[in-house]
Every structure is written in C-alpha cells, then in structure tokens.
C-alpha cells in the first residue's frame, strides 16, 4: 500500500471541509423547511438530493422511470414530514436516504402488480404516530450503523452514495486503487445490511 503524499492529504482535508460545509448547509435548509416551509430551501435540497436518490434506487435495481418517480415521492415526503427531522439524531443525508430505502422496500412489495383499484389515489394520509416512530428509529439505526463502520469504509460509502461519485471518481479523489475501493464499499454495504436487519 503506497503512502499518501502531502498533496493527497491536503486534497482529502479540503474534500472533508467541503463535505462538512455542505452538510451544515443541508441542515440549515432542512430547518428552514421544517420551521417555515421555505420553498427556496426545499428547491436547493431537491436539486441536490433528487438525482442522488434516483441514482441510489437505480443502483439498488430499480428501473429508470420508476426510480425517477420514487425519487420525486421521496422528496415530497421530505417536504411533508420535515417536522419529524431532528438534526441531533441524524444528518440530512441519512434521513433522506432512510426515506428512500423505505420507499424502495414499499415499491418492491408493491411490485406484485396490484390492480389499479388497489392503488392509493389522492393525497397521502398524514403519518401515524407509529409510522413516525418507525421512521425515526430506522434513521437512528442507519446513522448508528454508518458511525460504526471503520472510517475508511464510511468515507467511501458517503462519497459513493451521498456524494454520488463513481468508483473511478473516488479513486481519482483518494488515490486508492479501484479494487480497494470496490472491496471496501462491498464490505461496508454488507455490514450496513446486517445492521439494518
């Protein structure tokens, strides 16, 4: 394994600073949405997260148009359930991707192709207390599972899923061999799946 050069370390530091600033901006936007139903803040979050959620869903095997529709649903849920967001419990990215994961599970269950009359039409009912608690618990569980990962694996998962970088782009940013990146991400995903049950 090659030692990192000062230039690589400085690049990593700048990248970590940029990610921390982005995360802080997302929290600020999320609180504006939660507390003031701020449409501009929502537009910023939508522009950032909708394509990443779509990519996450497609990587999970969801077909393109369905992934697009689900991503839109996820972002509508972010708007409607913003009052449930607590920055002390999860990052915005963890919260959004928990909603996306639940949406993917719902779609997989629904894929038994119900008849049109079985589909829900009109506005979605407000979340029950039970649903709200379950979402909060899953968000906390995913956040804890991410924190429990070794730092090297967690960094790559965050870059791949929350930063929407390809394995090749991660290799260029970190200087790590492509095989190492793929192996660490595979190990991290296995640990997350195990932790999430």
pLDDT in tens, 155-171: 888 787 776 678 888 88
pTM higher than 0.85? no
Say what the pLDDT of residue 135 is: 73
**What does the H/E/C string look like for the chain?**
CCCCCHHHHHHHHHHHHHHHHHHHHHHHHHHHHHHHCCHHHHHHHHHHHHHHHHHHHHHCCCCHHHHHHHHHHHHHHHHHCHHHCCCCCCCHHHHHHHHHHHHHHHHHHHCCCCCHHHCCCCCCCCCCHHHHHHHHHHHHHHHHHHHHCCHHHHHHHHHHHHCCCCHHHHHHHHCCCHHHHHHHHHHHHHHHHHHHC
113 pLDDT more than 60: no
Across the range 15-23, mean pLDDT stands at 85
Across the range 64-86, mean pLDDT stands at 90
Across the range 97-125, mean pLDDT stands at 64
Please name each of the domains of the chain with its CATH number: 20-111+128-133 (1.10.1740.10), 149-197 (1.10.10.10)
Across the range 80-104, mean pLDDT stands at 90
In tens, the pLDDT along 43-61 reads: 999 999 999 999 888 888 8
Say what the pLDDT of residue 195 is: 81
Say what the pLDDT of residue 5 is: 59
Across the range 16-26, mean pLDDT stands at 88
Most confident of 87-91, 132-136, 157-161: 87-91
Choose between 174 and 125: higher pLDDT. 174
């Amino acid at each position: 394994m090659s030692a990192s050069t000062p230039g690589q370390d400085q690049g990593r530091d700048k990248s970590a600073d940029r990610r921390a600033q982005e995360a802080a901006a997302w929290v600020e936007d999320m609180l504006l949405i939660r507390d003031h139903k701020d449409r501009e803040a929502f537009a910023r979050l939508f522009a950032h997260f909708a394509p990443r959620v779509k990519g996450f869903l497609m990587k999970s095997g969801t077909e393109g148009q369905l992934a697009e529709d689900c991503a839109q649903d996820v972002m509508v849920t972010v708007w409607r359930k913003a009052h449930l967001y607590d920055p002390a419990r999860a990052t915005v990215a963890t919260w959004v991707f928990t909603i996306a994961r639940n949406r993917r599970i719902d779609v997989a269950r629904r894929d038994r192709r119900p008849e049109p009359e079985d589909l829900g039409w009109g506005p979605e009912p407000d979340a029950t207390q039970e649903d709200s608690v379950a979402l909060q618990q899953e968000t906390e569980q995913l956040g804890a599972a991410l924190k429990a990962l070794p730092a090297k694996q967690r960094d790559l998962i965050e870059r791949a899923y929350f930063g929407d970088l390809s394995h090749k782009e991660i290799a260029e940013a970190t200087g790590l061999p492509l095989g190492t990146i793929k192996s660490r991400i595979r190990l991290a995903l296995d640990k997350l799946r195990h932790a999430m049950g």
